[in-house]
Amino acid sequence: MAESYKSREQRVPSGRLSRFSRFGALTTGILGNVAIGGARAYAAGQRPRLNDLLLTPGNATRLTRELANMRGAAMKMGQLLSMEAGDFIAPELSEILAHLRSDAHTMPGRQLKSVLVANWGADFLKQFRKFDVHPIAAASIGQVHRAVTRDGRDLAIKVQYPGVRGSIDSDLRNVASLLRLSGLLPRDLDIAPMLEEARRQLHEEADYQREGRALSDFGRLLENDQAFLVPALHGDLTTTDILAMDYVSGEPIETLKEAPQEVRDHVTTQLLTLLLQELFTFQLMQTDPNFANYRYQEDTGRIVLLDFGATRSFAPQLAQKFHHLLRAGLHKDRAGIRAAAIDIGYFSHSTAEHHQTQLLDMMEMALEPLTCPGTFDFGDSTLPARLREAGMAFGENRDFWEIPPMDTLFLQRKIGGLYLLATRLHARVDMPSLLAPHL
């Protein structure tokens, strides 16, 4: 199946009309396939289920390929759905959409040149000794090129796909309509909160000057921390559509699955330490849990931090509320956990008792690493499976609609992403010791 999603050059549709037409053709194609498949099944005396007709290999490949071709908000929405709604959508669709977290097509050279000329001028190549037109990475809203300037700077240049910023709102409406009309999502699943989160996040991520400021902020905050390396910003080449930074080598963080246990433990401990610093000390957090945002340098032992588009500031009051929640969790104080959860906004005093019980049970599960004496073995724990099972059971009850504050959702996603990474690396972490300086 991997070959179906292999990255290749594909022009990015940059006009709103062309993008709308692509969505329309995709929806029509999927529904047409369903009609043909249903007719064939009935002719053969079968009574197929709608999901069986929708989730054929052909439809699944078509959906993922088209979202990957569209890039921008369309592709980002698929990524978010695979992460945020994985407990509610069909496992087959979740697996298909998961490919979008790591696979993106690249724009052809002519389109790349048009973006560079629009931002740097027609003679931009005079600034470079070398500019590799073949990207070293591609994601939902941009691709990264390596370049060397005339004055010897070795850079990673992130170039935004044309039309992405202007099509964010319409793309999100179109992809939601597509998923609804095609029946690929349950009719009673409210994705409005995810749409609003995706819209806000995408508008922020599409401003590379904003990301450049966040990159510089983290560079200053971690300049004396030997565990991390943040690429330096090159402001003279950075615009709203182009981000220029140091090129920094490193291996994907997931390759550490084969590393010695002490290396996996150390890296995971450092990332969780950074999470606590971001919340309680910096009150500034990179909230995107994508594993591609972390690299590891075997020769230096340092973790390279990339992609600060999803950086968010937290108010001191929020940090204090989570301080209370973690302290209560550390002491297995269920009443304290409930009080902190209400203060944060997970639910209210008027929330039905059975809903409160379900949520508190899940919170106590999530807080288990804090209460484990000594090190907590993420690789040998059933915690992720139990949390997923509890989340699915809770999600089946659609009469609870209290949505926590947006800052809380961002923080929750970051914590969940690091828990998942710790599980993938089979890491062992002494969580109470990490929390002690902050509590």
DSSP symbols for 401-423: -PPPPHHHHHHHHHHHHHHHHHH
Task: Write down the pLDDT at residue 181.
Answer: 58
* Average pLDDT value for residue range 45-49: 44
Query: Residue 83 above 70 pLDDT?
Result: no
Closest CA to 143 of 162, 125, 128, 129: 162
Name residue, tokens 């971001």.
278
- In the chain, count H helices and then E strands: 17, 13
Buried b (16+ CB within 10 A) or exposed e, 11-25: ebbbeeeebbebbee
Alpha helices in 44-126 (DSSP H): 50-54, 57-70, 72-84, 91-98, 109-120
* 42/428: higher pLDDT: 428
Q: Which positions are annotated as active-site residues? A: 288
* Average pLDDT value for residue range 137-155: 91
Rounded to two decimals, what is the model's pTM?
0.77
Report the percent of the chain where pLDDT is more than 70: 68
In the DSSP assignment, the letter for residue 161 is P
Tell me, rounded to whole angstroms, the distance of Cα 199 from its chain centroid.
14
Cα 20 to Cα 171: distance, rounded to the nearest angstrom: 8
Strands 228-229 and 242-246: unpaired
Cα 365 to Cα 91: distance, rounded to the nearest angstrom: 23
